């Protein structure tokens, strides 16, 4: 079992920045993917960005050039740096961990971008 603890959400004005963090503990498998998804009452949960244990990132088109995902291999912590935030980025952001045996989700952290 893998447990995820998220932090870093909040309220920011459009054009501002936030950084989300997520730490994974438990039965961590060396080959894994960690990422961030977001969800609103109107939209299904969608991928924001993910990164493999090798450090290869992948981004949704809507955040390319504005968001950056990185990970600290010691401690299995993943970061999402969000710049130039827009009101459309308002959502609950969920951390995700996947390996060959596990698919775990964090509790979610609210990001609100005011116009």
What is the chain's pLDDT, residue by residue, as a tens digit (115 residues)?
Answer: 899 999 999 999 999 999 999 999 999 888 999 999 999 999 999 999 999 999 999 999 999 999 999 998 776 899 999 999 999 999 999 999 999 999 999 999 999 999 9
CB of 71 closer than 8 Å to CB of 77: yes
The beta-strand segments (E) located in 14-101 are 18-26, 33-39, 46-52, 57-59, 67-72, 77-82, 91-98
Between β-strands 109-114 and 10-13, what pairing exists: parallel, antiparallel or unpaired?
Answer: parallel
């Amino acid at each position: 079992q893998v447990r995820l603890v998220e932090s870093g959400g909040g309220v920011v004005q459009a054009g501002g920045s936030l950084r989300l963090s997520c730490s994974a503990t438990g039965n961590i498998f060396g080959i894994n993917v960690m990422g961030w998804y977001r969800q609103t009452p109107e939209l299904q949960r969608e991928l924001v960005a993910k990164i493999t244990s090798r450090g290869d990132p992948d981004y949704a088109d809507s955040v390319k050039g504005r968001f950056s995902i990185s990970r600290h291999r010691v401690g299995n912590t993943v970061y999402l740096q969000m710049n130039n935030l827009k009101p459309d980025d308002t959502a609950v952001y969920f951390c995700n961990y996947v390996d060959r045996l596990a698919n775990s989700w964090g509790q979610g952290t609210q990001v609100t971008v005011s116009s």
